[in-house]
Structure 1
């Protein structure tokens, strides 16, 4: 006998977001039950396979039909068959369940202690040498751990950390925020980079105040190195006259080589022709490098292992 939906009030799909959210909460727990009954076409057999009481399964299917307002099954004694509406619904349910299973497998794989994944962010200036060296050393003991690598400036990485897109990031300055945990790992000296034919190029050391009349090329506002440059120049008693702003330190080094200004930069991975790099004696020109993560965020085993590895490199992070 065909089951007829009762007159019990049911949800009605609408364009209203709250109604759709309510419908999803009602339907979601019953989808696997529905797929099991549809696959076996027998409530008792489906209950046995899914290890749930038959009465629970029968009530769940009846309520699912009531909430949808359509018959999904035609009853034939102890067996059932899908109605046209049921077949249509099953196609989408199987697709949804398959997507859930795929997502579950993905997060399980990412959390696997031996083959899991770490989403790791770092500054552009650390991408040529420092980070490859760190990953090489870490993978000596964890050869199958995978990495999703993101290069960006500090503030952008912290935003992605807060959004859950990164597990850890190397950044500068070391952030001080209540929702983040940060640990200082190392310090990197900054140099005043000048063109090879500059009047200062014959020097090895310089006080930053001696560059007060120079034109500077810097990173854009919002970058940690830009903030450090502005602060150091202020400490030296001047505001830098800026001709060009960029997004990457090696681009700035190229601008200096072209004679377009001077810059405060960390050491390059490979010496660049056309520039001379001077040690700044005053004020003390350096930037702290630290690792940050989201406060209270649980670590998967591979993330915990890589975090422990980074913290063990305090004082020896940089080449």
Structure 2
């Protein structure tokens, strides 16, 4: 018996679970071919593999499993009950591998592949839809997986390999990332329309030192910029609310809960006045980042090149 002849080659119980896939995988397609024909010669001709290679592979497979999969009579073989049960699972596994291979090939296709792209919440209303529309003029079949999140969360997903590129602020500076500045966006002091400053067009940020602020939560790039600008203006903001969406903050400003430093809205919101901040210079830089040394598919490379071509013209005017 094959398993009796070579029992010393069997996997030990302690190593079986971690090693079995690595050990068996190269032989599974051979097994399926021999099982399909129940004849080594015919399987050899179909697969373009020498008969001796197939025969040795089947013997080793049985040795490693410790189970007889075939009953042999010359070059003719027939599946044992164990072999038939094993074949059912092997065919499912090989079909899943083929589907996975088809999927990754499709994602890397230069004309119809996929780009996993992350961007800030404040970029989602107007900027990103316009970018994708413009890119697809020349790349109409490229598909996108889009993730909308705050900057630090997107960087984590970039490092985890879940994103190819992300549009973020501030522009990250880390040894494992490559980042390029694309544009800058002026921030405005947003106040209720009945606020003492609402009749002004311009304001120094220090004039809001005694106000309550509504801000994004810690970890958001815009929150860090708000804290830094207030510090530069000589005060620490008194925070009345921390949220996750800029438009939520605008609504709370309109309700009189406080003031906020925010980028311009895509659509003007009633109940608030947006003031130009003259000092300090209130802007946030927008950049694109990707993982250094991470292989990129043709569609990702094309979209990255497109984003870099929009440097200085990324945001709506």
TM-score range, shorter chain: over 0.9
Structure 2 unmatched runs, 5+: none
Is contact 2:33-2:43 (8 Å) kept? yes
Q: Please show how residues 308-319 of structure 1 align to structure 2 within 5 Å.
A: 308-319=305-316
> Cα gap change, 1:92/1:30 in structure 2, threshold over 3 Å: closer, same or farther?
same
Cα offset for 1:77?
Answer: 2.4
Segments ≥4 residues shifted beyond 2 Å: 2-5, 10-14
Matched, 1:244 2:220: no
Q: Which residue does the alignment assign to 1:9?
A: 8
Matched, 1:293 2:302: no
Is contact 1:205-1:281 (8 Å) kept? yes
Matched, 1:28 2:29: no
Is contact 2:3-2:66 (8 Å) kept? no
Is contact 2:190-2:272 (8 Å) kept? yes
Per the alignment, in what secondary structure is the counterpart of residue 46 of structure 2?
helix
Cα offset for 1:10?
Answer: 3.2
Q: Which residue does the alignment assign to 1:122?
A: 119
Deviations 1:55-107 (A, max 9, x none): 11100000000000000011122211111111111111111111111110000
More off after superposition, 49-58 vs 208-217:
49-58
Structure 1 unmatched runs, 5+: none
Corresponding pairs, count: 316
After superposition, the CA RMSD in angstroms is 1.1
For 1:168 and 1:118, the matched residues in 2 are separated by 8
Q: Which residue does the alignment assign to 1:138?
A: 135
More off after superposition, 73-82 vs 172-181:
73-82
For 1:5 and 1:37, the matched residues in 2 are separated by 22
Is contact 1:37-1:46 (8 Å) kept? yes
Using structure 1 for the length normalisation, give the TM-score.
0.97
Is contact 1:11-1:23 (8 Å) kept? no
Deviations 1:101-127 (A, max 9, x none): 111000000000111000000000000
Using structure 2 for the length normalisation, give the TM-score.
0.98
For 1:306 and 1:80, the matched residues in 2 are separated by 54
Per the alignment, in what secondary structure is the counterpart of residue 201 of structure 1?
coil
Is contact 2:24-2:61 (8 Å) kept? yes
Per the alignment, in what secondary structure is the counterpart of residue 88 of structure 2?
helix
Cα offset for 1:4?
Answer: 5.4
Is contact 1:5-1:71 (8 Å) kept? no
Is contact 1:73-1:81 (8 Å) kept? yes
Is contact 2:190-2:273 (8 Å) kept? yes
Matched, 1:193 2:179: no
Q: Which residue does the alignment assign to 1:170?
A: 167
Q: Which residue does the alignment assign to 1:227?
A: 224
Deviations 1:205-250 (A, max 9, x none): 0000000000000000000000000000000000000010001111
For 1:168 and 1:13, the matched residues in 2 are separated by 45
Q: Which residue does the alignment assign to 2:65?
A: 68
Deviations 1:251-303 (A, max 9, x none): 11111111100000000010111100000000000000000000001110100
For 1:86 and 1:128, the matched residues in 2 are separated by 58
Per the alignment, in what secondary structure is the counterpart of residue 119 of structure 1?
strand
